[in-house]
Amino acid sequence: MAAIVKVNTKTGLSKADLKALGTSLLPFLLLVILSVFVFRVFLGRVNTQRTSLSTSRRDENILREKQELLSELNSEVVPLVEPIAFAIPHKNASLMMIAQIKQQASIRGLFVTNIQTGPAIAEGNILRYEVQFDVDGDQTQILDFVSTLSSVAPISKLESLTLTIVGGASRGEVTISVFAAPLPESLPAIAEPITEFNESDLETITRLTSLVPPPFFEITAQEPVVRENPFD
Amino acid sequence: MAINLLPTDLAPQRSIAKFVGFIRRLNLIGFSLFVVVTISLLGYTLLLSSQISSSNSQKEILSASLSALQQTEQAVVLLKDRIVKANTLLPLVDTYQQAEVFQELALLAPPDSFIREVRLSTEVTELTLLFTNSSSLVNFVTALSQNENYVRIEISAFSFNPTLGYLVTFSLFI
């Protein structure tokens, strides 16, 4: 009782005042606390959802653009794969070049002998094969033949040519480098954008596809057939 | 006339009653605002959820469509890879130009001279010619000096045989 009197003396508020204040301020405080809690929860959730939506829409746009680009390129790109794969093969570059050498030489009536090829030499992500051969025939034809190798697939480099002319007969000792490169091992992630081919890329593609392909093709396996019984 | 039968100390003071009335009105307005804002936020959250789910289903449709275009994508990836490598390799093809340039040079040789040996490499072209007389040697050197394909020309070997003539080796730098 002494305490209530003390309070009353200090604040000048009666029990009825305190009750009235309590019944109005308590809901007010509860409302404030509830509002802070609810708004924090909702705003946090809204922010998370907005981030998620923006990521999802960005991915959706990337996928849409990728789908449009791939649909547009579908008919143009697929036929280019073979000539490009001949220009920079992933294997057998030296065999392809030997086939080209033999064909180009026979067109000009030249004789190619002593064809030798070395093992693959890795130079970064490119494999280099050295091919050496001798060629006999007319001097002009030999030079023309060597020049022609620049326009055949696979891509090659003239390392050296020694042309010896004795009594009108010419012999060329030729060393060239042929190149191959391993295929890309994985596709980019599905949501990773694909860029269009620029002007420089198209020029490179044109140059690669203009190379004469090697004069052989892959023999596909024959489908199994039912053999006739010879005793029937 | 109404008579207040309650004892005066049970009713709050007038100023307190006024303040309490203000707080109650504030509570009412605050609660109304709380309800409106909470419903709006809830609605917005639901709208965002529906948009996310719609975007996700759209992504699934596009992914399925892209799976059908996988062959094209593989082709594009291969082409991009080959273009990068071709940009390194294609300049090397220019080494064959030496053979073409030499073909032009061979035309400069006088009819009474004979090409004995030609060595083409990436740095230098070495050409050995046999000249039957000095005038054809002079004519060839004059023609060679006017040729713009080579930046430097050196005579790396020179010999004379009274029966055959002049055997000269030129080193031609591109």
Q: What is the pLDDT of residues A39-75, one digit of tens each?
A: 999 999 999 999 999 999 999 999 898 888 888 888 8
CA pair distance A79, B70, nearest whole angstrom = 15
Give the pLDDT mean for A101-127.
91
Closest listed residue to residue B107, CA positions, set A11, A143, A18: A143
CA distance B35 to chain A (A): 9
Q: Of the candidates A35, A74, A197, which has its C-beta nearest B72's C-beta? A: A74
Cα angle: A50, vertex A56, A59; to 5 degrees: 140
Q: Of the candidates B12, B52, B77, which has its C-beta nearest A17's C-beta? A: B12
Residue A228: CB atoms within 10 A of its CB come to 7
Cβ–Cβ gap A21/B19 under 8 Å: yes
Q: Of the candidates A66, A71, A84, which has its C-beta nearest B82's C-beta? A: A84
CA distance B136 to chain A (A): 19
pLDDT in tens, A132-142: 999 999 888 89
pLDDT of residue A196: 84
CA distance B125 to chain A (A): 9
Single pTM value for the model: 0.71
- Chain B neighbors of A157, CB-CB under 8 A: 92-93, 95, 122
pLDDT of residue A232: 66
Dihedrals φ, ψ of B165, to 5°?
125, -145
- Chain A neighbors of B83, CB-CB under 8 A: 197, 201, 204-205
pLDDT in tens, B96-132: 888 888 888 888 888 888 888 888 887 788 889 899 8
Interface confidence: ipTM more than 0.90: no
CA pair distance A137, B127, nearest whole angstrom = 19
Q: Is residue A138 a contact partner of residue A146, using CB atoms and an 8 Å limit?
A: no
Q: Is residue A186 a contact partner of residue A62, using CB atoms and an 8 Å limit?
A: no
Q: Of the candidates A21, A32, A157, which has its C-beta nearest B16's C-beta? A: A21
